[in-house]
Structure 1
Amino acid sequence: MARQRDLYKVLGVSPKATQQEIRNAYKRESLKSHPDRVPADSAERPARTRRFQEINDAYYTLSDTSRRREYDATRLADGVDEEYDIPQGGAGGFPWSAFGFGSAADREQRASEQFGSVFEEMLREEGLASDATDADGRTQTRPTSRFWSIVGGISGGALGFIIGNAPGALAGAVAGNRLGAVRDAKGKSVYEVFLELPQTDRARLLSELAAKVFQTTMGR
């Protein structure tokens, strides 16, 4: 049986790490390796995508106390290897199906949803998003004016994209606030808004957020 990669080492934490330490590590590592920090045609993209998926798989297991307990038992019984890469298809000696990893498509979907949830939490912590209740009583995390101010300061092209590819180079807090009102009126969550931004602007937001999160979590 092949030795399996240590999920604790994937996140860079001790096997004795608390759940909060695991969550903090996921924030740092997912932001650092997110594929959108490089262009779609970048040579780095495939490796980043694999690393991002690996981080999400590790967090999926270790963030849940029951799955973590089962993994710890398997880890001690079968051994682990820091250099072993998690296979994309779920093959190998480790019983991935027992932890709900499923198919590659399932893993990718879960990774997006998992990151989206934590991403919105990070934005709320930085004052870039807040919870709002829609007409149907559902709670969504919406962008704040501060979020749009940052986006507004990135590039005129990004702002043109947000308002429907309209020409012109708007910038600054005033433009950001106006665009925030336009987007909020459509009832989209902040993560949905993020996914619709051009790659260069997603990369900028991820980099800035990564710097803030790293400073916050490492300073504790």
Structure 2
Amino acid sequence: MLMIIQQLPGLDYYKILEIDPSATEQQIRVAYKRTALKSHPDRVPTNSPERPSREETFKQVNEAYYVLSDPTRRRQYDNERQRQQQQQQQQKQPGEQRKSRPQPSYSPGPETESASFASDQFGTMFEEMLREEGLSEEDTLNGGTRPTGSFWAIVGGLSGAALGFIIANFPGALAGAVAGNRLGAIRDSKGKSVYEVFQALPGEDKAKFLGELAARVLRSAVS
């Protein structure tokens, strides 16, 4: 079970992304991909008792990336983080009177309070990850991205429900004539982005797909 990482009086975004405070911009991006895939709520069933803690952790991961990926927000956060650490050290000094008022923690802004914030931000990175792994490509006709044959090959191998999703709204005879990545070419004509396609998958298959993507991203990071 995932633990919700929180350090009062505020969140430690570096601990949430499992990186050092000196991490580079690229290291932050890689860390976000890894931790977002690991904590994504869709990796467990909707009725799982683990779901609420995953949703909260996923929100924290996205909030951390939102702050640390932007130089201005990161600088403001680092200044506040350093100030709080200095204050904590002063309070630990022998004989120090602990009468100082609690200081407000860093606030990333109202954007992160939106119900769709975490999903929207992850969706952008999700499509980037799939492009890097050869699972999506630019859709010059409809704009955005679309799944490649490799994407559909994975989806087609997940379950009967996923296969049914791919051939939805097509005559039954068609199912016997095509399979795997060839089905993808038909479904692509619907003009759905790769993230929209993922979101419409059955729950169990979303979990399996995220697991497969996480394994690919991890292999790419260490290679």
For Structure 1 versus Structure 2, the TM-score category normalised by the shorter chain is 0.7 to 0.9
Could you tell me which of 203, 210, 213 is aligned with 2:207? 203
Q: How does 1:26-175 map to 2 (within 5 A)?
A: 26-79=32-85, 93-96=104-107, 99-102=108-111, 104=113, 106=114, 108-134=115-141, 139-164=143-168, 174-175=178-179
Question: Percent identity at matched positions?
Answer: 56
> What is the deviation of 1:180?
1.2
> What is the deviation of 1:157?
1.6
Amino acid at match of 1:37: R
> What is the deviation of 1:162?
3.0
Matched residue SS, 1:130? strand
Inter-CA distance 196–125: structure 2 relative to 1 (3 Å threshold): same
Aligned partners of 2:112 and 2:125: how far apart in 1? Answer: 22
Aligned partners of 1:51 and 1:165: how far apart in 2? Answer: 37
Verify the 8 A CA contact 2:77 2:106 in the aligned structure 1: no
Could you tell me which of 21, 24, 34 is aligned with 1:18? 24
Inter-CA distance 117–177: structure 2 relative to 1 (3 Å threshold): same
Matched residue SS, 2:139? strand
Q: TM-score, normalised by structure 1?
A: 0.82
> What is the deviation of 1:165?
7.3
Matched residue SS, 1:142? strand
Unaligned runs of 5+ in 2: 1-7, 89-102
Aligned partners of 1:8 and 1:49: how far apart in 2? Answer: 19
Verify the 8 A CA contact 1:3 1:79 in the aligned structure 2: no
> What is the deviation of 1:133?
1.1
Q: TM-score, normalised by structure 2?
A: 0.81
> What is the deviation of 1:164?
2.5
- 1:142-172 superposed Cα distances (whole Å, 9 cap, x missing partner): 000111011111112211123327798x99x
Inter-CA distance 103–16: structure 2 relative to 1 (3 Å threshold): closer
> What is the deviation of 1:77?
1.1
Aligned CA-pair RMSD: 2.5
Verify the 8 A CA contact 1:160 1:166 in the aligned structure 2: no
Aligned partners of 1:165 and 1:203: how far apart in 2? Answer: 24
Q: Which has the larger radius of gyration?
A: 2
> What is the deviation of 1:190?
0.2
The number of aligned residues is 199
Amino acid at match of 2:37: L
